[in-house]
Amino acid sequence: MPEIVLQGVTKRFGSTVAVNGLTARIFDREFFVVVGPTGCGKTTLLRLLAGLINPDQGEILFDGVRMNGVPPRERGVRMIFQGQDYALYPHLEVYSAERWSNLSFPLRLRGEKAKTIGERVQRVVQRLGILPDWFPRKPRELSEGQKQKVALGRATVLIPKVFLLDEPLSHLDPPARAQAREEIRRLHAELGTTTVYVTHDLAEAFLLGDRVAVMRDGRFLQVGTPKEIRDHPADAFVAEFVRAYREGLKKAFGV
């Protein structure tokens, strides 16, 4: 839930056109990956979907309902932000049954009962392999991988309708990255939430995406399955991107 439609969506910052007349359809329950170089508009697109900013032109629809102007909390959207701290609350512990904490925050905010909070937190803790040892720690006392799990946990204690992830693995080292990728994949399969995942790594996009959108200068150059993009790049920029990806594979595996 739900299907997301973008119709001619444009967002400008002064003279910069961050998102430029974007039209696309993201299917219900799809794992949709947006890949593109730095500054091409990926984060801006996620912020538009989350409702943190609104388009200057065009429409965003969730299951046919116009979202322009609808505030973030009424959209059922959760976003994992780009950056080292994952927007965790630095002064709060990972989890406490008595106090406000990172994992219980969204549930407390909704005024859920202690029993419900305990049950929901337990479920995400099990799902993500969060250890009770971490509960009393503040985010600065966690490793990157641990922080990332807590951020994923906080984002899914209430099952979102739409899940937005902005380069969530960029701070992890390669083995942790591979593991976290698997976890995110599994999380998506379990929750069935329409997911938009941003990366600048085409290999990651191909591993994760049901479909992949290659973005440049605020537009999608091509949207397709990993196989379609690999086998039939729609334009020169996508072809070059795929070539660099193949080169990377060659270097890694000597094939």
Please give the residue ranges that form the binding site for Mg ion (CB under 5 A): 43, 82
Residue 118 phi/psi, 5° resolution? -55, -45
Q: Give the footprint of ligand ATP on residues 64-103 (CB under 6 A).
A: 82
Number of residues that this document lists for the chain: 255
Alpha carbon distance 53, 74 (integer Å): 14
- In this structure, the dihedral spanned by the alpha carbons of residues 104, 106, 111 and 114, taken in order and rounded to 10 degrees, is -20
Alpha carbon distance 62, 60 (integer Å): 7
Strand 194-199 and strand 31-35: the pairing is parallel
Nearer to ligand ATP, 42 or 188 (CB): 42
Judged by CB under 6 A, the number of residues near ligand ATP is 12
| CB of 60 closer than 8 Å to CB of 6 | yes
Nearer to Mg ion, 30 or 166 (CB): 166
Cα–Cα distance list, 175 to 27, 33, 145, 182 (Å): 31, 21, 10, 11
Partnered with residue 57 across adjacent β-strands are: 10
Burial class (CB within 10 angstroms; exposed 0-12, middle 13-18, buried 19+) of 34: buried
Site map (CB under 6 A) of ligand ATP, residues 177-216, x = contact: -----------------------x----------------
Q: Does 16 bind ligand ATP (CB under 6 A)?
A: yes
Binding segment for ligand ATP (CB under 6 A), chosen from 35-43, 103-111, 119-127, 234-242, is 35-43
Sign of CA dihedral 141, 159, 50, 197: positive
State the minimum distance, in angstroms, from the CB of residue 83 to Mg ion: 9
Q: Does 13 bind ligand ATP (CB under 6 A)?
A: yes
Alpha carbon distance 154, 92 (integer Å): 12
Q: Does 23 bind ligand ATP (CB under 6 A)?
A: no
Nearer to Mg ion, 35 or 221 (CB): 35
Q: Choosing among ligand ATP, Mg ion, none, which partner's interface includes residue 68 (Cβ < 5 to 8 Å by kind)?
A: none
Nearer to ligand ATP, 14 or 71 (CB): 14
Residue 68 phi/psi, 5° resolution? -50, 130
Q: Choosing among ligand ATP, Mg ion, none, which partner's interface includes residue 39 (Cβ < 5 to 8 Å by kind)?
A: ligand ATP
Nearer to Mg ion, 7 or 82 (CB): 82
State the minimum distance, in angstroms, from the CB of residue 53 to ligand ATP: 8
Residue with tokens 């094939």: 255
| CB of 48 closer than 8 Å to CB of 60 | yes
Nearer to ligand ATP, 37 or 136 (CB): 37
Site map (CB under 6 A) of ligand ATP, residues 103-142, x = contact: ----------------------------------------
Per CB under 6 A, the list member of 9, 31, 35, 42 interacting with ligand ATP is: 42
Binding site for ligand ATP (CB under 6 A): 13, 16, 18, 38-44, 82, 200
